Amino acid sequence: MQSQEELEQLRDFAGKLETLFQTVAGEVSPAVVLIESETTVRVRVPNIPFRSPFDNFFDDFFSEPFGGRPAPGAPSAPQREREMKRRGLGSGCILDEEGHVLSNNHVVAGADELTVTLADGRKFSAKVVGTDEKTDLAVVKIEGDPKDLPTVRLGDSDAVKVGQWVIAIGNPFGLRHTVSAGIISATGRSIGVAEYESLIQTDAAVNRGNSGGPLVNLRGEVIGINTAIVGPANLGIGFAIPSNMARDVLDDLVAGREVVRGYLGVYPKDLTPEMAQAFGFEGTNGALVDEVLEGSPAEKAGLKAGDIIVEFGGKPVESASELRRRVAATDPDTTTPVEVWRDGKELALKVTTGDLATVVETEHDWLGLHVQTLTPEMAANLGKPGLEGVLVADVDEDSSAGTHIKPGDVILSVNRNKVNSASEYGTLMNKAKSQGGVLLRVLDSETGRARFIFIRNGRQR
């Protein structure tokens, strides 16, 4: 049993911790805003000349219970296109006194109108000045020359440690300036929501509407931008984009420029314990070079398939996603030291990064799908441990496959050939284009069922 003196010491510590949380929340909350978006979308509706009390009955009569496709044998109602307004909610944090606000790309992309509400209740129109789908980040600017804007401070996300306390601030479900607390559960997560990830995982409550809001350490520094949850709300699994990743692209976003990224020219993959043992490598930190592209900066620097990249730019590399982020954040034409493990010993190389924007896209882009190799961690997050294939990271708006394939789905085979990596997918898709069509085996991320889809000349069967 603890003594009275020990209890008093614990109470004193708890009181100081409470005060610290209150202070941080009070410092950062004023710089967190509510972002409301309005987007015009076109939908197909029954072609009824006027609206009447029977319209809902008409819709229900020709639909399955709870909405869905027409019942078998039911006549098809005439259709017409109609414009509707879709409204969304998100969060953001004010970067500077000029009114630049950092948020998620998916919060503001495609919006016709944006309204920003400050903590003090002031409302302003806003416009998008820069977006980056590859990191799911965006910057909007408050219009109307607002005065006395509070701002946030960006911290060093590379210094984040598992177990440290964090605070998430945002507007979940439109509930303004909600504060929740938790710890860092993991770092370097990849879940397929963006091309460049290495996300921070937290158990602080992050719900819909929190997207774009800050994840803050107890020094009051923003170490992440909340971006995603897994499954239903309140499961204690939320993700944030590291602040250093945001810092890498902020100058371009604020200036309204296309983000400039470095290019290496390798297909990296995460190390499993079995792979590490096979290569005689201790541990699983590093990125295994699965393939080196011909004529790439990596090939010119002497990198080879089977190399394990352990350092890039003088900093340790823990995963494939971290390597991709580091390379992307490196300016083109920069000579960077690279440490690799090859044949039982470390080797020092120097690589001069290329410009990703100048890299010729492979022909499989004719389908409009952007894919990445499905890692064991991604498969586990999907509830399918051991699954192999490529994860659909994005689908172009005008894609012929967009009707039945969506981000998060997994492509298992191309023309009945199993695919295990993005490079294999690209090779098979190049062949399929010359043949005029492609048969895909796709695992639906919502239903968990696999199905065949045939695509030819922009039409699906």
Catalytic sites, residue numbers? 106, 136, 211
325: left (phi over 0), alpha (psi -120 to 50) or beta: alpha
Residue 215 burial (CB < 10 Å; 0-12/13-18/19+)? buried
Q: How far is CA 105 from CA 70, 99, 217, 244, 396, in A?
A: 35, 17, 23, 17, 15
Q: How far apart are the first and last CA of the chain?
A: 72
Helices 320-328, 243-255: axis angle to 10 degrees equals 30
Contact 286, 318 (CB under 8 A): yes
DSSP classification of residue 285: -
In Å, the largest CA–CA distance within the chain is 82
**Of 170, 112, 122, 180, residue with least CA distance to 148:** 122
E strand or H helix at 249, and its extent?
A: helix 243-255
φ, ψ at 237 (rounded to 5°):
-130, 105
User: What are the tokens at 38?
Assistant: 């309005």
Q: Are 286 and 261 in contact (CB under 8 A)?
A: no
CB 265 within 8 A of CB 292: yes
Pairing of strands 308-312, 335-342: antiparallel
Q: Two tokens at 5?
A: 């003196």
| DSSP secondary structure of 325-388 | HHHHTSPTT-EEEEEEEETTEEEEEEEE-EEGGGSPPPGGGGG-EEEEE--HHHHHHTT-TT--
